[in-house]
Structure formats: C-alpha cells, structure tokens
A and B are shown apart, each in its own frame.
Chain A
Amino acid sequence: MSATSEHAHDEISKKVTFTVWFSLLGMTAIEVILAYEQLELKLMLALLMGLSLIKASLIIAYFMHLRYERRSLILTLMPALLFVVGMLFVVFPDSLRILAMKVH
C-alpha cells in the first residue's frame, strides 16, 4: 500500500470516528428521553434493546475496527457469539408470560 492511500484511509477514519461518536451520543439521548416518556414495559424493553444493539454494532464495526478486518476473522468471532447469546434467549418469552399466568 502506498503512503498516500494510507493517509487517505486515516483521514476517513478520523471523520468516521467522530460521526460514530455523535450518532452514539444521539442514540443515548433518545434512550434517556424514552425513559422520561414512561412507555409500557415490553415496548420499552424492545426499543432500548434495539437501540443498544445498533450502538454495539457501531462500536464493534468502527471503534474496534472489525469492519476493516479480514472476513475470516469476522466469521470466526461473530456467528459463534450470536449463536450463544441467541440460545440464552430461548426461555426469555416465559418471563413475559409469568405475569399473566400468576394466580392473584
């Protein structure tokens, strides 16, 4: 790789870094506003989880540089992690049902 293209890549990454930072701050602000809105628990959980997943993906892709790594590394790390975390959620719907099933 020539010195100029490396330099160009650096310039992009600095701009990208601050863009990512501002979008993370923006999403945090939305989350805090949501907390003040006092929405229903299930909806709130879904919205907060969704925003957090987007934030986490941005951090992994740009701050942790994974987007620019070789695809073999991404394929080694991410599917395994997503599978295990997904398996943790297998019984999660029960938590939403328990309240309705409770004898009052």
Chain B
Amino acid sequence: MSSHAQDLTATPGGRETIWSGGGSPYAIGSNKLGMWLFIVSDAITFSALLVAYSYTRTSTETWPRPFESASVINATVMTLVLLSSSVTMVLGVRAAKMGIPKRAAGWLFATLMGGVLFDILHLREWFGLFHQGVTPWGNPWGTPLFGATFFGLTGLHMTHVTIGVFYLAVVALGTARGKYNDEVVEVAGLYWHFVDLVWMFIFPLVYLLSAKI
C-alpha cells in the first residue's frame, strides 16, 4: 500500500482519517478559510455595485462631476491613509507570528486609528455634498441616480471600515491580554486588506472618473 493510500484510510499515531476531518487540504485553519470564503462573497457584492455604477456612469451624458480639486486631494489622502493602515496591519500580523503580542496589539491600534481617520475624512466629504444639495434621490447638476450610486457604494464601504475598526479593537485588546493567538490577528488582517482593496476600485471609478478640474 502506498503512503498516499494509507493517508486516506489508516490512522497512524491515532490521527483521525481525512474522511473524519483529519486532513487539511488547504493547510490553513478553519477560521482563515471561513474569512476567505466571506471575502470572496463580499467581493462579488461590491463588484455588482461597482459594475452597476460604472454602467450608469458611462451610459449617462448628464452625469454630475462634483469632485473639484479639493475633493480629489481629500480622497487621495484617504487612499494614502488606508494603504498605510494596510502596512501597519502587515507589521501587526508579523509581530503576532513572531510571538510578540504586545507589539502586535500596538500595530493593530495604529491600523484602527487609520480606519478612524479615514471615516472622519469620508464623513467630512459626505456632509460637504449634503450641503451642496446632493441626496440619494437628487442633486443640482444632473441625473438623480448619481446620489443613489455614490452613497450606496461609499456607504457600504464606510460600513465595512467602521465594522473593521470595532473588529480590530476587539482583536487588539484580546491579543494584548494573550487571549487570542496569531491566527486571529491574521484573519482580522485579511478582512482589513480586503476593505483596502475595495477602496482601490472605488477611488478611481467614483472620484477620479467624475473629477471636475
């Protein structure tokens, strides 16, 4: 019997068989696999919104271009903040893997502060648009659909950032107390990088494509 066939049927050293959950076909924990599956489904949700937005954007002549230089600079700073918070997240996961939970918690805290800053800048932008009369059902410049797609898309993303901030806070506190292992930090990192990744599409498609400079 080959060693491969043995792997499927026998229980060397009392290990469970593959068919009763003893195998690890992806060589990662179930938490991490669960987060990956969630990310794939969430990516499809965001893709649907982005494609719907892009479709109406390119097929509408009267699409408003409300984003002046100040807005573009604001959104560029938001991008910078989110990209940098991804780097602090990578460093946090690294510290957790090296077995330094206190340092990992510090980096996680830095990451979530990036998320808070992003939310503040984004809300400032939103309130600026409210003052100019943009609502989900209308605006002073052109097709009313602009508000619906803009607030729908950026609102869903902002919700993800906000949930991420609370998620990272829980993980940071738990890690500092030694309650969580490095896999929990890594899984939180996957979520945070995904939120960053989605913004890499929203920023150019929503802001740069409708810039008025």
Q: How far is the CB of A72 from chain B (nearest CB, A)?
A: 6
A56: B residues at CB distance < 8 A: 197, 200-201
B55: A residues at CB distance < 8 A: 91-92, 94-95
Q: Cα distance A85–B54 when bound, in Å?
A: 13
B160: A residues at CB distance < 8 A: none
B22 close to chain A: CB less than 8 A: no
B1 close to chain A: CB less than 8 A: no
A21 and chain B: residue at smallest CB distance: B87
Q: Which of the segments B44-52, B135-143, B170-178 contacts the partner chain? A: B44-52
B58 and chain A: residue at smallest CB distance: A95
Q: A21-B87, A84-B47, A95-B55 are in contact. Are A73 and B40 (CB under 8 A)?
A: no
From B26, B80, B205, contact of A48 by CB (8 A): B205
Contact assessment for B204 and A59 in the assembled complex, using a CB-CB cutoff below 8 Å: no
A103: B residues at CB distance < 8 A: none
Contact assessment for B26 and A69 in the assembled complex, using a CB-CB cutoff below 8 Å: yes
Within 8 A of A (CB), among B143-193: 186, 189-190, 193
Q: Cα distance A36–B71 when bound, in Å?
A: 13
B189: A residues at CB distance < 8 A: 63-64
Contact assessment for A51 and B204 in the assembled complex, using a CB-CB cutoff below 8 Å: yes
Report the interface size for chain A: residues with CB under 8 A from the other chain.
Answer: 50
From A31, A44, A98, contact of B59 by CB (8 A): A98
Q: Cα distance A45–B79 when bound, in Å?
A: 19
A49: B residues at CB distance < 8 A: 204-205
Contact assessment for A10 and B94 in the assembled complex, using a CB-CB cutoff below 8 Å: yes
B204 and chain A: residue at smallest CB distance: A48
Contact assessment for B94 and A84 in the assembled complex, using a CB-CB cutoff below 8 Å: no
Q: Cα distance A102–B61 when bound, in Å?
A: 10
Contact assessment for A69 and B28 in the assembled complex, using a CB-CB cutoff below 8 Å: yes
B70 close to chain A: CB less than 8 A: no
A8 close to chain B: CB less than 8 A: no
* The 6 nearest A-B residue pairs measured at CB: A35-B208, A95-B59, A48-B204, A98-B59, A73-B26, A95-B55
Which B residues form the contact surface with A (CB < 8 A)? 25-28, 33, 36-37, 40, 43-44, 47-48, 51, 54-56, 58-59, 61, 72, 76, 79-80, 83-84, 86-87, 89-91, 94, 98, 186, 189-190, 193-194, 196-197, 200-201, 203-205, 207-209, 211, 213
Q: What are 14 inter-chain pairs, A to B, with CB distance below 8 A?
A: A28-B80, A32-B72, A32-B208, A34-B208, A35-B207, A41-B209, A44-B209, A60-B193, A63-B86, A63-B189, A64-B194, A73-B33, A73-B36, A80-B40
